[in-house]
Structure 1
Amino acid sequence: MSISFRVNPEYAKMSEIVPGLFICGVSALTPDDMKKGKITHIINATTEVPNLRSLGDIQRTKLWLEDTPQTYIYPHLELQSDQIQAIIADGGRVLVHCVAGVSRSASICLAFLTKYRCRSLRDAYHLMKSKRPMVRPNLGFWRQLIAYEQKPFQMQSSFLENPENKQSIRIGSHRCLSERLKINRDGGFLVEGWEENVKENAGSVRLVRDEAQPECLLPDVYLSIAIQPRPVSPDQESVERQSDEPRERRMSGLRPKFQPVLEPLLEITEAVC
């Protein structure tokens, strides 16, 4: 049985984000691309793409994620970040892929960059965008990435054995927020027991309303892309000037007025004499 996907040709290439970490869509899953990138481990972040036998005996991890805002990706962010770090530290090269290499795989890579390579989630996004401009996780993934950035990290990890494929999976020893992260009615994510930390440690990325679609939210790292400044027409400039004039008049009434100092009448009379 053959499976086919429609993918924008722009997404076809494999992109190296940092040394040892690659991201791509299904179009780049070829034996030649694997050899060219010297890939030693593949993280498949999809439900619909099978692990391809044609790629050889490369170690695989399949996450079974759907690209929807309701998908619970949070537990995988730290687990896969630790695993990627362990593989790269041992001299391996990791490829994270989904169908297009835009949302699911990008979220995993952003989590790794945030924890191990960058100072913040915002810096991680800009680094990743410079290497692969089309990355754009869905809003639900952004909510979980923002919550992930605000949690305290512990770098110590332990190894567990995966009984399905008999390969080592690196898992963080810190029992993170995965068990306490719940989906609220609006599709957002609430962290039980960590509300104070989340409020005190403000994240580097905020969700704001899109001016073009006020009913929609988007991360503010998209603002320069999604929202362009509207040009001001000459008529609008004249209206703004007229609206500023009454304000200037009102403000002028608050300024201190010059009050001359008058000498007493007797002193003036003596001066004349």
Structure 2
Amino acid sequence: QATTPHESEWDAGEIVPGLWVGGLSAAENEDELIRRCISSVVTVGTRLQPQVSWTSVKSQSIANKRYDIEDHPHADLLQIIPSAIRAIDKVMKGRSKKESDARTGVLVHCASGMSRSVAVCIAWLMLRCKMSLDDAHEMVKAGRPVARPNFGFMQSLRLLEERKDVRLAQDKWTRSNK
């Protein structure tokens, strides 16, 4: 499958309509954010701040929410999941309610778009689309082939799958890491 020039410049993949996952360079690419109707950018990473020079009137309304988490197996992914899911929901729920928002999207990114942002998108699919961890992971990999959440994030996602609730999974994760 051939890629267009735009696709080769865009370091992100669409997981489901409107939900994009990618690297820092995708968040810094104002033209592509506008072209793909991205209305919100979710940054997942410590000391990770997109160097954005969003100067166009269209891009001034792009919301940017940031969550500090290291890409480390002992980082507490479950702590940021509830808030990150709500940030994604703001855009995704709006897509189904208003015709004018039907084309808006959200970009979830970390430094490389391989671990932290991927884990957040997997959690969203599990909780909002009622998918298994394996199915959600496969769906994300289909849109973002470099998707590889670290071992600790995968453990957290397994707990989330078992408990079906972030608080219950977080309690178990906290007890097992003391």
Q: Same fold (TM over 0.5)?
A: yes
Q: Give the direction of change, closer, same or farther, for the CA distance of 1:128–1:118 in structure 2 (3 Å limit).
A: farther
The answer for unaligned runs of 5 or more in structure 1 is 1-9, 154-173, 191-273
1:79 corresponds in structure 2 to: 83
Report 1 or 2 for greater relative contact order, CA contacts < 8 Å, sequence distance ≥ 6: 2
- String of CA shifts for 1:5-64, please: whole Å, max 9, x gaps: xxxxx9962211001100111222211111111111111001132143413431111101
RMSD: 2.4
Offset of 1:124 from its aligned partner?
0.5
Q: Quick one: distance in 2 between partners of 1:48 and 1:27?
A: 15
- String of CA shifts for 1:180-209, please: whole Å, max 9, x gaps: 63164xxxx58xxxxxxxxxxxxxxxxxxx
1:121 corresponds in structure 2 to: 133
TM-score where L is the length of structure 2: 0.78
Offset of 1:85 from its aligned partner?
2.3
Q: Quick one: distance in 2 between partners of 1:13 and 1:51?
A: 14
Offset of 1:84 from its aligned partner?
1.4
Give the ranges of 4+ consecutive aligned residues of structure 1 lying more than 6 Å apart after TM superposition. Answer: none
Which structure has the bigger radius of gyration?
1
SS for the counterpart of 2:81 is helix
Matched, 1:111 2:123: yes
1:146 corresponds in structure 2 to: 158
User: Pick from 93, 110, 113: which aligns with 1:101?
Assistant: 113
Q: Give the direction of change, closer, same or farther, for the CA distance of 1:106–1:99 in structure 2 (3 Å limit).
A: same
Matches within 5 A, 1:210-221: none
Matched, 1:34 2:33: yes
The one-letter code matched in structure 2 to 1:103 is: S
Q: Is the 8 A contact 2:65 2:87 kept in 1?
A: no
Count residues in correspondence: 157
TM-score where L is the length of structure 1: 0.52
Give aligned-pair identity as a percent. Answer: 29
Structure with higher helix content? 2
Q: Is the 8 A contact 1:110 1:121 kept in 2?
A: yes
